[in-house]
Structure 1
Amino acid sequence: MKRFIYIILFVLISCHGLQAQSSVWDGTRSRWVKGNGTLQNPFLIEEAAHLAYLADVVNAGVLYADSFFVLTVDIDLNHLPWTPIGKDANAFYAGSFDGNYHRINNLNIQDTTYRSGIVYAGLFGYVLDADIRNLALLSDNHIFVSFVSSYNFYVGGIAAYAFASQISNCCFEGSIAVYAYNSYAYVGGILAYCSAGTGMKHCINRASILASSEGIAYAGGIMADGDNSQPLIQGCYNLGNIQAIAYNYTYAGGISAKLNYKASLINCFNSGEINANSNYYAYVGGLTGFGNSVTIRNSFNEGNIYAKAYDLAYAGGLAGFIDYPSEFSNVYNTGDVFSHSLYYKSFAGGIAAYVYNFSHVLTRFTNCYHCGMLTSLSSMMSFSGGIAAEIVSQAELNRCYYLTTSQQSFSNHLGIETNKDFLRSYSILDTFNQSDPAWMYDEDNENEGYPLLAMSGLNLIITEKPQVFASSVMLKAKQFQRSDSITQRGFAFKKLSETVFSYVIVDNESTYFDYLLSSLQVDSLYEYKAFVVLYHDTLYGNSMVFSTAEARVYTLPVSELASHYVRLHGELIYGNDSILAKGFCYKPLSDPDYTWKTIPHAYFSLSISDVLSHTSYMYYAYAVTSSDTLYGETLYFDTPKQVSEVITENTSELGPYSACLHGRIVYGDDSVVTRGFEYKDVSASYSFVCELL
């Protein structure tokens, strides 16, 4: 799995001394004692017993409409049995609940006793006209629901069913598993079902999700399903693995299992594995399994997608099945897509598996790319395409690219077939950013060199080169706020010989921030890195080393060495002389002249995609200061041979007793002496047709 953004590690906010007081629940209930429920003077939840009391009184019929609650303490629910706040549609929560960036840990819901009626399970159950925000359920939270019932099961980490409500800045971690047997199972990491315009913003799921039913199963990282009230899901992402299993239909998606009329996904992404298995139809997508007149913008998937069904299997990098006019713009998929129909039809698409639209309004794909593997298998008919496996009627593609990285030839060639070099170049950014500057260059290879979306993904924090003086330094950094709310930012620093960092907080909410660090030891080496504190994590930028003496430069070994690709690395220790430029010099051993490349960004590495295969090279790093040019040690590398590739292409001139077979060879450094085809009847052994070169 590709990991994204400069996250050296996820650590708890407590690493910076921000751990709040925690209240451990002992199973008792007690009423809060502060506040009157107004916006200016909200009810204060100051201990776990207060939260349990809120659940009791709401479930007794007190709605708390237009009342405000604020959590003032972290809560440990201690794995004791929990009853949702708002147990059903007759006893729902209708107030505002501000978690105040506190945490609730060790939620435990084990619902296995049969009863009649719809099942609602989560921290909250049924909420109406509610506002839930700034709340993280981290650590060991588990929800398990399983019994035979003919009623629907709605199970979500934060809430089960939301009517005309808003959920924002919420996170759920742990596991959710639902076995609904002969009813419908709706399971979402944050919310199971959204209704009447409910929206979600800046929500995160890290939990594993399982929805299983002999009827229909919906499993989504953020939500399972919703009505036709045009919900907006913005700045949300899923990191957990999602699985849906059903006898009838299955829907599974990294953000939502199913999106209905006029739903919008903006600035969202998925990194989890998405899997669906059905005896009939399976709809699976990196963002949504099924979409009806949806808009998906500035979003991506990097998780692997699997659909398996007896009849119809739909697996798409972003969406499984798209119905009616929809819009995809500034989107990409880097995950592998696998679709398998045991009997009938299989569809695997880089962006969408199947696009169906007979409206006069077009379904549009604009500024998108796919670079993962595609596999579509079926005993009868299989379809695959770099953008879509099958498009029925009205659709338009603009600036949509795909790599030929499937394990089979494509049945649908809509879009532009390209190579890795172009997708990793600045030219693709110029192409994508013609109308909307949504894309940025992958400077440090977090996305294997492929373009990144500036406003979608985990928050990005970049430690930039410092300005060094004799006994002080100006630390500098740049942040890209994407999906999460940043509560603090600053720098961690230490002498290189020490093990413990010191921290400084910067009161600056702009993209660029800095801090003047004084009283440093002269002629000493220091290490520093920028950080941002979120309500659920702390993210660190890259580390940099500086010296209060003169600057130094080192040449480091190469990485990612391939026939025509290499990544050079250097290390620059910033000193009290200004660095004006840095870069690399490289050349084949047999060439007299070096090629000079300047590095414009903070990271001291360079990707080269035009080196010669089967060739010996020499290279060194350099840095230009205000008074001199510094050189690193000269190092060497050898590029491997380019291996020839053969590609099987679609047949033509198909008749009752004949067919024209086609293939293509990409020649490398090895010698190709014979080429031809293997073919056979499904039940027979292989025959060969060879042609000598």
Structure 2
Amino acid sequence: MNTSIPRCCLLMLAALLPVLAAAQGYYDASKKPDGDGTARSPYQIATLHNLLWIAQQVNGGIDLADTYLVQTQDIDCSPTRQWDGGHGWAAIGGMQTVNGMVKKMAFRGHYDGQGHAINQLYVNRPTDFQGLFGYVYGGSVRGLRLNGAHIECTENLGVLTGYAFEEEVTDCHVAQSMVKGSGIYLGGLMGYQSYGTTRDCTVDAAISGYDYLGGIVSWCVEGTVSRCHATGKIASITKTETDGTQQVGRLAGGLVGYLSNAHVDSCSSSVEVVGGNQMGGLVGVAVKSVIAHSYAAGNRVKGITYVGGLVGKNEETAVNDCFARSTVEGESSVGGLIGSLDYSGSDVARCYAAGQVTATNAAIAGGLVGNKSYTATVKSCYYDKEISQQAEGVGGFAHNDCQCEAKTTAQMKVQDTYAAAHWDFARVWAIDAAVNEGYPHLVGVGPTVQRHGDIDGDGMVNVSDVTVLINCVLGSASYSLNVSDIDGDGTVNVSDVTALINLVLNP
């Protein structure tokens, strides 16, 4: 009698084992939160077991559309490091196997962290769509802090969510976290984003992977990123294919890796970006988009081709009122602000660069732009010729429609330098010897209030924060620089107290 099991049945059983294991063990500790999920009585998320309940619902096919959830206290997720044989947390949503079929499950509810934190979340899975959430579709997440997260998988990953569509993410902050993938779409906050809105968010993370990497979001199409700030390091690594050939890493930006038909406004980055092609201090590649009132400073951008202090490769994208103070290194198409400026619609206006630029091919490098097409334009721009050590503001061979003046470091720090170009020093720009080392800075742009104003950590910017900061300046208390340096000039001083008072009076 033949008692062997057919191979097809074994394969089917193997496919179902993760689902059976999850059904029998992974969600056993889940606990339904208090509340009924309405706006008047939202679900009260107070424990890791409550978070697990959300995952159980969504991954089982209940998307929680129009459901409201609020986090009521900080949640320690360090136990997830031991979950599921060391694979850790399984994201809320994403690609799930249900009844033997692989489906993309989405969270469609509204999650309000209310300023609380999720600490030490651990994910290490040989799959994609990973993070706290795997997939957010049409939902919203706000007021959440994620500290000390470790997110490692293949692709489509971010500390908050791996994949997002038509979502709204507001006031979310990632700190001291690590994101690592073997593939593409890796972001500090979000991986892949389409038709969504991201605002008032910050990230401090180390990110490494092959392609499409971003400090806030890796891929942003038809979306908006505003008032966001990123710090940390991004490494775009070389990928070895199955046949042994190697593919150089590409497309990385301190804020956004790839930007298409989208808008970046009032954002900043101090992320070190290192890799291969299309590396940018703020955006790796921008296509048919708008980048305004934003900057990259205090960072290094190193690549091969299309390397820029602000944008690596610009195609049909307007860049207005921006600056870069980045050290930029590459071989060709290397620029202090933009590596390559291509096609009509690629118009740069009222921008400057003040960073050292080093290129192997000196002819295709510039203090402001490394290379430009004949249809792109540069208007009312400047670069620091002493710092950049570049003789030309715009490199390459197309120098038509270029208004880019070389200035000394001293001249760059004088407001009169920009008068002829009609820069707006009433509402957009300002110069202060104590801010940005004296170079022009953008009014109201930089690390957000939530990150740098809430000194005492009570979730609000108020009088107690001013008291703490005054004590810090006077020396009767000690606080770390990244918490107390409100104006971003690198020191904790009286101007920070003034800035915080203004925040309290004009929230």
Q: Distance in 2 between matches of 1:540 and 1:321?
A: 32
1:111 aligns with 2:125: yes
Could you tell me which residue of structure 2 aligns to residue 141 of structure 1? Answer: 149
Consecutive unaligned residues of structure 1, counting only runs of 5 or more, are 1-25, 147-152, 341-345, 462-478, 495-499, 504-525, 543-570, 573-600, 604-693
CA contact (8 A) 1:154 1:161 kept: yes
Could you tell me which residue of structure 2 aligns to residue 402 of structure 1? Answer: 383
CA contact (8 A) 1:298 1:455 kept: no
- Per the TM alignment, residue 210 of structure 1 is displaced from its structure 2 partner at its CA by 0.3
Please list, as runs of the form range in 1=range in 2, the aligned pairs for 1:637-652 lying within 5 A after superposition. none
Could you tell me which residue of structure 1 aligns to residue 334 of structure 2? Answer: 348
Report the 3-state secondary structure (helix = DSSP H, G, I; strand = E; otherwise coil) of the residue aligned with 1:53: helix
1:447 aligns with 2:461: no
1:72-118 deviation per Cα after TM superposition (whole angstroms, max 9, x unaligned) = 01000014211101132532111101011100001100113xx6xxx
1:161 aligns with 2:166: no
1:434-461 deviation per Cα after TM superposition (whole angstroms, max 9, x unaligned) = 48720122241x4111111112112589
Could you tell me which residue of structure 2 aligns to residue 273 of structure 1? Answer: 272
1:363 to 346, 367, 371: 346
Structure 1 residue identity aligned to 2:190: L
Q: Distance in 1 between matches of 2:320 and 2:105?
A: 41
1:219 aligns with 2:205: no
Instruction: Give the direction of change, closer, same or farther, for the CA distance of 1:91–1:187 in structure 2 (3 Å limit).
Output: same
CA contact (8 A) 1:530 1:540 kept: no
- Per the TM alignment, residue 143 of structure 1 is displaced from its structure 2 partner at its CA by 1.2
Could you tell me which residue of structure 1 aligns to residue 283 of structure 2? Answer: 288
Q: Distance in 1 between matches of 2:478 and 2:380?
A: 36
Q: Distance in 2 between matches of 1:370 and 1:399?
A: 12
Report the 3-state secondary structure (helix = DSSP H, G, I; strand = E; otherwise coil) of the residue aligned with 1:334: strand
1:418 to 407, 424, 448: 407
Instruction: Give the direction of change, closer, same or farther, for the CA distance of 1:501–1:331 in structure 2 (3 Å limit).
Output: closer
Structure 2 residue identity aligned to 1:100: Q
1:64 aligns with 2:56: no
Structure 1 residue identity aligned to 2:446: G
1:159-200 deviation per Cα after TM superposition (whole angstroms, max 9, x unaligned) = 0100111111111123434342xxx411000110012x1111
Could you tell me which residue of structure 2 aligns to residue 198 of structure 1? Answer: 196
Instruction: Give the direction of change, closer, same or farther, for the CA distance of 1:54–1:459 in structure 2 (3 Å limit).
Output: closer
CA contact (8 A) 2:201 2:448 kept: no
Higher strand content, 1 or 2:
1
CA contact (8 A) 1:455 1:480 kept: no
Instruction: Give the direction of change, closer, same or farther, for the CA distance of 1:201–1:286 in structure 2 (3 Å limit).
Output: same
Please list, as runs of the form range in 1=range in 2, the aligned pairs for 1:532-681 lying within 5 A after superposition. 538-539=483-484
Q: Distance in 1 between matches of 2:498 and 2:54?
A: 51
- Per the TM alignment, residue 294 of structure 1 is displaced from its structure 2 partner at its CA by 1.4
Query: Once the two structures are aligned, what percentage of the paired residues are identical?
Result: 26
Please list, as runs of the form range in 1=range in 2, the aligned pairs for 1:105-504 lying within 5 A after superposition. 105-112=119-126, 119-138=128-147, 140-145=148-153, 153-180=155-182, 184-195=183-194, 197-212=195-210, 217-227=211-221, 230-246=222-238, 247-248=247-248, 250-260=250-260, 262-277=261-276, 282-309=277-304, 313-324=305-316, 326-340=317-331, 346-357=332-343, 359=344, 362-378=345-361, 382-404=363-385, 405-407=387-389, 409-410=391-392, 412=395, 414=402, 415-428=404-417, 430=419, 433-434=423-424, 437-444=427-434, 446-459=435-448, 487-490=460-463
Consecutive unaligned residues of structure 2, counting only runs of 5 or more, are 1-25, 81-87, 96-102, 239-246, 488-492, 500-507
Report the 3-state secondary structure (helix = DSSP H, G, I; strand = E; otherwise coil) of the residue aligned with 2:237: strand
Q: What is the RMSD of the two structures over their aligned residues, measured on CA atoms?
A: 3.5
Could you tell me which residue of structure 2 aligns to residue 690 of structure 1? Answer: none
1:102 aligns with 2:100: no
Report the 3-state secondary structure (helix = DSSP H, G, I; strand = E; otherwise coil) of the residue aligned with 2:36: coil
- Give 1 or 2 for the bigger CA radius of gyration: 1
CA contact (8 A) 2:281 2:301 kept: no
Structure 2 residue identity aligned to 1:256: V
CA contact (8 A) 1:429 1:440 kept: no
Q: Distance in 2 between matches of 1:305 and 1:292?
A: 23
- Per the TM alignment, residue 541 of structure 1 is displaced from its structure 2 partner at its CA by 6.1
Instruction: Give the direction of change, closer, same or farther, for the CA distance of 1:397–1:530 in structure 2 (3 Å limit).
Output: farther
Could you tell me which residue of structure 2 aligns to residue 78 of structure 1? Answer: 78
Instruction: Give the direction of change, closer, same or farther, for the CA distance of 1:355–1:199 in structure 2 (3 Å limit).
Output: same
Report the 3-state secondary structure (helix = DSSP H, G, I; strand = E; otherwise coil) of the residue aligned with 1:422: helix
Could you tell me which residue of structure 1 aligns to residue 15 of structure 2? Answer: none
CA contact (8 A) 2:179 2:188 kept: no
Instruction: Give the direction of change, closer, same or farther, for the CA distance of 1:178–1:43 in structure 2 (3 Å limit).
Output: same
Instruction: Give the direction of change, closer, same or farther, for the CA distance of 1:529–1:354 in structure 2 (3 Å limit).
Output: farther
Report the 3-state secondary structure (helix = DSSP H, G, I; strand = E; otherwise coil) of the residue aligned with 2:410: helix
Structure 2 residue identity aligned to 1:47: T
Instruction: Give the direction of change, closer, same or farther, for the CA distance of 1:436–1:293 in structure 2 (3 Å limit).
Output: farther
The size of the alignment, in residue pairs, is 433
Structure 2 residue identity aligned to 1:402: Y
Instruction: Give the direction of change, closer, same or farther, for the CA distance of 1:375–1:453 in structure 2 (3 Å limit).
Output: same
Q: Distance in 2 between matches of 1:177 and 1:34?
A: 32
TM-score (normalizing by structure 1): 0.57
Q: Distance in 1 between matches of 2:475 and 2:251?
A: 46
- Per the TM alignment, residue 32 of structure 1 is displaced from its structure 2 partner at its CA by 3.1
Structure 1 residue identity aligned to 2:142: R
Structure 2 residue identity aligned to 1:396: T
1:40-81 deviation per Cα after TM superposition (whole angstroms, max 9, x unaligned) = 211111222111111122111111011010000100001421
Q: Distance in 2 between matches of 1:541 and 1:434?
A: 23
Q: Distance in 2 between matches of 1:43 and 1:30?
A: 14
Structure 2 residue identity aligned to 1:83: A
Q: Distance in 2 between matches of 1:72 and 1:480?
A: 22
